[in-house]
Chains A and B, each alone.
Chain A
Amino acid sequence: MIKKPNIHYCKRCLYPAVSVNLSFNREGVCSACLLQEEMNSLTPAFWEQREAKWKELVTQAKATSESNYDCVVPVSGGKDSYFQVDKAIEYGLKPLLVTYHGNNYLPEGQRNLDRMRSKFGADHIVMGPSIEVLKKLNESCFRLMGDMNWHCHAGIKIFPMQVAVRFKIPLVLWGEITWSVAGMFDMNDYVQYNKRTVYEHDLRGYTIKDIVEKTPGVNEKDLAWLRMPSDHEFADSKTIGLYVGNFFDWNPNKHTEEMIEKYDFELSEQPFERTYRRMSNLDDMHENGIHDYMKFIKFGYGRATDHSSKDVRSGYFDREKALEMVEKYDHVKPRKDLNRWLEYVGMSEEEFDHIADTFRSPKVWWIKDNQWHKQTPRGDVKSYGQVNLSESETEIYFKE
């Protein structure tokens, strides 16, 4: 017996219960909001202590570094990258910038990336995998997990670690504690980069072997940039990955303003099709485009929910304004972006729509009059386009 989906939305922001690793308290407030509340109550004295801890770690890294560099900063060229490098330099670390280049940069994003070398006077390694291999990965990962951008998440999380281990660089400075988005970790956990979380959350539980098996014409050598340093190599190079977000208050809107003023950071010239923010994801057009559209297809919410929920939590928006943004953007099929991708990998839109529908969660979507339906954060029900599945493929969904 298939039950009609009943999505619980956070009473404070707009996060749905289907969001990864989210939990709710008895008042219906989500773990991400509760964490933010805890963060907001932190005093300047708290941040001074954090800074002291940061200084201690930085001093230790400089003292023990056998390399010409004190830290690797993985950079996409975004506002957070700028903030991370800015912090490294402010505290006297010599950084090596490392980029995974997934070939999806917007022109503004590429200019921001290129500008880092001159603005920060830092050395920069860019790893750009073969375009041929990238096209194949885009297609196979879309078919396999509904995520054409898997290579980006995997590449950015692994390649900088390879570089750090190879050059025996003691620190890798990551940015926001991204895994705290749903409240997985607390501030006091001082969580460090760890393979389990990367494997499970960034790599979605797929190894190189799995990907090679599912991607015709790609072998393990083609994916050398995805080989994770062994436990032994990590211990040998004494490399650890820290999150700058653990030591400094993380406020994306404020960071962006600072980075524009100090380093001429550029925002997107064109508005995005699926969100109102113009400062995020300039390194990857699909991240705010079809990659994010797939999140809506799978779980019924998209980046407008992410961005507006964060903005509610940081007091930038009220919930009503967030609802408006979600209603305006979350369901939008990004025309321009989709066309680029279909041409890039050579797929028809019909096939795209069919494969996309196979990833819809039966916990979110149901079928009525051959249309997909789901609950909205306001509590009513709306339809979101036709079903592109065969009769047998619809068996797992509730039908009204």
Chain B
Amino acid sequence: MLKKRIIPVILLRDGKIVQSRRFSRYNILGNPTPAVERISNWMSDELIYIDITDPEDDFAEAADLEVLVQKVAEKCSVPLTFGGGIRDLRSARELLRLGADKITLNTAAFDNPQLIREIATEFGSQCVVVSIDAKPTENGQYEVFKGGHAHTGVSPVEHARAVEKLGAGEILINSIQRDGTGSGFDIDLINRVVNAVSVPVIALGGAGKWEDFAAVLSETDACAVAAANIFQHSENSVHECRKYLFEKEYPVRRHQALSNDNHIL
């Protein structure tokens, strides 16, 4: 059986790592790079960086992803996905050249959907991840919010199918309502998207304990479970998560011995 992936997500806002809470409140954690080596040493399957700097905030300054990707790639031995504010083929090309393995698109999937096709054509579908931020509606459905904030009137199922058709190789589905709450993943939302497409789906949003990762693996066919905040709260976090899942016989790669390095980081 194909192994399921465990993926830490690092959210950047105004050049700093943040914790996000329901897409509306943020705790600043620090600089973007010190976390990398630790996360890489803990046997993460991949690492996703997303810049969520508010484009409407005049005082905010988004990180220079091209500078960052080089710094991160130098210290990181796992596949790297970069996203946030990518609007054209030129910037995607540049990030891939500098060390990113995949590009994740969100706003562009609405504003310039052909970009998905362009990147997929030039670099292959495996290279394009479309991230989808969704929230439940009053009538028991879900709606996608562009860039996490703008109404689209589109359901995640419709949107996922559309971007798959354009060449998206993976879908990253995130729950706005569960984001940063630690109250568990939105299993219903994940299932809807997984059942709608044939490309791999990465589940994100709501992880509060290792059991929540297990719930995704046992109750959905998502190919990967991702989380941001929880991996910043304890030592050897990704390792502990993997160990928990492996020992419960979930199909994840076996955890390996931890580093013996006595120098900090």
Contact = CB atoms under 8 A, between A and B. Distances in A.
Interface in B229-265: 229, 232-237, 239, 257-265
Contact of A234 (B27, B232, B235): B235
A230 B28 contact: no
Interface string A187-208: 0111111111111110101011
B234 A21 contact: no
Contacts of B28: 21-23, 31, 182-184
A205 B34 contact: yes
B247 to A, nearest CB: 14
A230 B27 contact: no
A228 interface: yes
Contacts of B234: 191-192, 194, 240
Contacts of B235: 192-195, 231, 234, 240-241
Nearest to B235: A194
A284 to B, nearest CB: 22
Contact of B27 (A31, A190, A240): A31
A199 B34 contact: yes
A4 interface: no
Nearest to B182: A188
Contact of A201 (B26, B30, B257, B258): B30
Interface residues of B, number: 32
A125 interface: no
B30 A200 contact: yes
B209 to A, nearest CB: 10
Contact of A208 (B42, B259, B263): B263
A378 interface: no
B233 A195 contact: no
Given A192-B233, A193-B235, A197-B30, A230 B265 contact: no
B125 interface: no
Interface residues of A, number: 40
A197 B261 CA distance: 17
B27 A196 contact: no
Contacts of B19: 184-186, 189
Contacts of A200: 30-31, 34
B38 interface: yes
A184 B21 CA distance: 12
B263 A196 contact: no
B16 interface: yes
A188 B183 CA distance: 11
B29 interface: yes
A54 to B, nearest CB: 16
B229 A196 contact: no
A227 interface: yes
B149 to A, nearest CB: 14
Contacts of A185: 19, 27, 233
A107 to B, nearest CB: 34
A232 interface: yes
B174 interface: no
Interface string A31-52: 1000000000000000000000
A4 to B, nearest CB: 16
A189 B28 CA distance: 14
A362 interface: no
Contact of A230 (B16, B229, B232, B259): B259
B41 interface: yes
A231 B262 contact: no
B217 to A, nearest CB: 23
Nearest to A232: B258
A145 interface: no
A232 B233 contact: no
Given A21-B30, A185-B27, A196 B262 contact: no
Contacts of B264: 158, 195, 198-199, 203, 207-208, 228
A-B residue pairs, 4 tightest by C-beta: A231-B258, A21-B28, A228-B264, A232-B258
6 contacts: A191-B234, A195-B235, A195-B264, A200-B30, A207-B265, A208-B264
